[in-house]
């Protein structure tokens, strides 16, 4: 009887060993060989909360791996089942399964460039990011107005207006709004908060916040580099004389639904940002100034000018007296537009 059992178990045991070898060999082959030879990049999007099974199935459906189950087993063996990160990745059929696994656990997702222009407001930055699918507009604005965050950053304002540095950034589709904002703040610190600039601030009669505020006015008034320090001199001269700054961009900032036209009634809006009504600088920046405008705010040229008016060609006419300014307004603003 014992002999019969042994003779029965031996081939069964041998069969199990052979079966295990076959399965192990199949797994080894599927987990160590690419799905194909094509090097053409295929974009794979892994949504937040996706399970390993869902991810492996998606990779198999796109012919990027030979077996979903083998890929899952490989992931578990490597103890990386909790390290897969959401995002968009570029993969190819010629990649080894291990390389695919390393890619989707590295966080090196597809990055999209976005250029924040100088002079953009928080709302405009939010709209730009939303148009590229990089952020939720309302969530972005809300985080930029988080008072507790302002306090932790020691920014004496009710928003991060002016501190989101205008630059070209690269973000993935799953970068959080907070991470995007923090990246812009870090760039501001890197580009603006340096010893040379801080020394200039200390030698001035303004705080850094006031300089950024003044720079934002300069940024909104001119796009010509050669005029920035001249515009700055007018503002400095008016502040020194305790004159109203009377700059239209601050009125526009105070208007909730601006339609593109400033009317006479708008100049009397009761807002601390209305420099036609309240003396001194507004309580905070009205846009994100670039480095040139910040430098201009700190280093104005010396002039006796107190007024400027647009020539409607991108440049401005500067005046020392109200009479000269009124003549310039009649010349450049009130004259009839002639057909070219």
What's the confidence (pLDDT) of residue 339? 36
Phi, psi of 317 (to 5 degrees): -100, 130
Question: Can you give the pTM of this predicted structure?
Answer: 0.83
Average pLDDT of the residues in 153-161: 92
- Quick one: pLDDT at residue 146? 93
Please compute the mean of the pLDDT values over residues 295-318 and round it to a whole number: 94
Instruction: Categorise residue 79: left if φ over 0, alpha if ψ from -120 to 50, beta otherwise.
Output: left
| Token pair of 20 as six digits | 């295990």
Domain spanning 32-110: CATH superfamily: Endolytic murein transglycosylase (3.30.1490.480)
pLDDT at residue 119 greater than cutoff 50: yes
Res 262: pLDDT: 84
Asked if the domains at 32-110 and 112-191 fall in one CATH topology, the answer is yes
pLDDT, tens digit (0-9, with 9 covering 90-100), for 88-108: 999 999 999 999 999 999 888
**Which percentage of the chain shows pLDDT scores above 70?**
89
- The mean pLDDT of 3-31, rounded to a whole number, is 57
DSSP character string of 135-186: S-HHHHHHHHT-HHHHHHHT--SSS-TT-S---EEEE-TT--HHHHHHHHHH
pLDDT of 215? 97
Domain residue limits, the chain: 32-110, 112-191, 195-303, 306-340
Tens-place pLDDT, residues 221-232: 999 999 999 999
What mean pLDDT value characterizes the chain? 88
What CATH number belongs to 112-191?
3.30.1490
Choose from 15-24, 28-37, 262-271 the range with maximum mean pLDDT. Answer: 262-271
Give percent of the chain above pLDDT 90: 65
């Amino acid at each position: 009887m014992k002999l019969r059992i042994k003779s029965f178990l031996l081939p069964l045991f041998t069969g199990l060993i052979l079966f295990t070898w076959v399965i192990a060999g199949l797994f080894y082959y599927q987990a160590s060989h690419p799905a194909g030879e094509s090097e053409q990049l295929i974009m794979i999007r892994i949504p937040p909360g996706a399970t390993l099974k869902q991810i492996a199935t998606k990779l198999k459906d796109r012919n990027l791996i030979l077996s979903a189950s083998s890929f899952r087993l490989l992931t578990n063996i490597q103890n990386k089942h909790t390290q897969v990160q959401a995002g968009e990745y570029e993969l190819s059929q010629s990649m080894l399964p291990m390389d695919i696994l390393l890619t989707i656990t590295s966080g090196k997702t597809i990055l999209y460039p976005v250029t924040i222009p100088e002079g953009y407001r928080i709302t405009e930055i939010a709209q730009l990011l939303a148009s590229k699918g990089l952020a939720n507009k309302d969530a972005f604005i809300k985080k930029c107005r988080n008072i507790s965050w302002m306090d932790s950053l020691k920014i004496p304002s009710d928003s991060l207006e002016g501190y989101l540095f205008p630059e070209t950034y690269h973000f993935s589709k799953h970068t959080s709004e907070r991470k995007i904002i923090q990246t812009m703040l870090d760039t501001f610190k890197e580009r603006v908060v340096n010893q040379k600039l801080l020394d200039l601030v200390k030698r001035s009669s303004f705080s850094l916040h006031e300089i950024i505020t003044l720079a934002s006015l300069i940024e909104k008034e001119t796009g010509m580099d050669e005029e920035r320090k001249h515009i700055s001199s007018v503002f400095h001269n008016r502040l020194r004389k305790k004159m109203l700054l009377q700059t239209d961009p601050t009125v526009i900032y105070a208007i909730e639904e601006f339609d593109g036209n400033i009317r006479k009634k708008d100049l009397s809006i009761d807002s601390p940002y209305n420099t036609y009504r309240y003396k001194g600088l507004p309580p905070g920046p009205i846009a994100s100034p670039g480095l040139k405008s910040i430098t201009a705010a700190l280093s104005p040229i010396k002039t006796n000018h107190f007024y400027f008016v647009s020539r409607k060609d991108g440049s401005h006419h500067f005046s020392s007296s109200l009479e000269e300014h009124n003549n310039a307004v009649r010349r450049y603003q009130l004259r009839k537009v002639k057909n070219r």
